[in-house]
Amino acid sequence: MTKIIAIINQKGGVGKTTTTVNLGAALAEKGKKVLLFDMDAQSNMTTHLGVGVQEGDFQEGIEDVEYPSSYDILKGSKTVAECVVHRSKNLDVVPSSLSLSAADLELGGVVGRELILKRALTNIQDNYDYIIIDCPPALGLLSLNALAAADSVIIPVQSEYLALHGVRQLLDTIEQVKSVFNPVLRVMGVLICLHDIRKKLARAVSDTIRTYFGDLVFETVIKTNVALAEAPSDGKTIFEYAPRERGADDYRELANEIESGKF
């Protein structure tokens, strides 16, 4: 059965896109068929993977190609299948575009607008073991569509002082979506990202997160790693850019933890 996972936190810079890309790539490396779905108008996931690069971007050697995007799916002009880009073995992508930034306004009067993505995925989801959705850093219509379509949520949090700020609001939103649109939705886990093991504060915040969320926190911790930060500039996953670096090992561990069934 296909698992549909929304990667979400309304706080930016916590590792959502890095997790979407590299968790998907780790699962693909394990032989799972994965679709990565970019629901963020900033298109960071799309750019990270070297898909649909906009004119003027700095990734040398990557052809500037205009792809159908998640915006076209929400507007109803394309099916998901028409927007899928084959990225690598076992890994497909639905890219985003800046046009998504207007989706809240353009779809404001559409009946059932929160369920557009859920309905769109119906005809394609059986082709994949995992569909992983990169959500925008806001709890608007795009995030609601992702939550309504998903069966589980991963919440990346950074091990810094303000890590828990806003997470309670996010959990309340998840509960509201569950009660109104998606009764099967659950929080799969909280993922500690950008963790600097050298810093005493980071270790203290990590302990606080584990105390606060208990068993919901993944055992795996995504540690600060230069290669993880550099890979997007080459349009590569960590497994293509530096497969033996610690960042790759961390995401392999996360994929193993998810596949173990504990979550």
Name the token pair of 187: 């929080």
Distance separating alpha carbons of residues 43 and 173, to the nearest angstrom: 23
User: Where are the chain's structural domains?
Assistant: 3-259
Mean pLDDT of 170-198: 91
Q: Which CATH class for the 3-259 domain?
A: alpha beta
Helix (H), strand (E), coil (C) string for 56-115: CCCCCCCCCCCCCCHHHHHHCCCCHHHHCEEEECCEEEECCCHHHHHHHHHCCCCCCHHH
Mean pLDDT of 184-199: 88
H/E run at residue 211: helix 200-213
Mean pLDDT of 142-165: 89
Mean pLDDT of 74-96: 95
pLDDT at residue 42 greater than cutoff 80: yes
pLDDT, position 248: 97
Contact 93, 51 (CB under 8 A): yes
Name the token pair of 102: 């207007």
pLDDT at residue 84 greater than cutoff 80: yes
H/E run at residue 155: strand 152-158
Name the token pair of 247: 């960042």
pLDDT, position 57: 46
pLDDT band at 168 (very low <50, low <70, confident <90, very high): confident
pLDDT, position 52: 65
Angle ∠(38,39,45) on CA atoms, nearest 5: 35
User: For residues 94-107, b (16+ Cβ closer than 10 Å) or e, as one string?
Assistant: bbbbeebeebeeeb
What percent of the chain clears pLDDT 90, i.e. is strictly above it? 67
Rounded to two decimals, the pTM is: 0.92
Distances (CA, A) of 65 to 48, 52, 55: 15, 5, 9
Residue-wise pLDDT for 192-232, tens only, equals 998 777 777 778 888 888 888 899 999 999 998 899 999 99
pLDDT, position 159: 77
Residue-wise pLDDT for 91-113, tens only, equals 999 999 998 988 888 887 888 89
- Better pLDDT: 172 or 109: 172
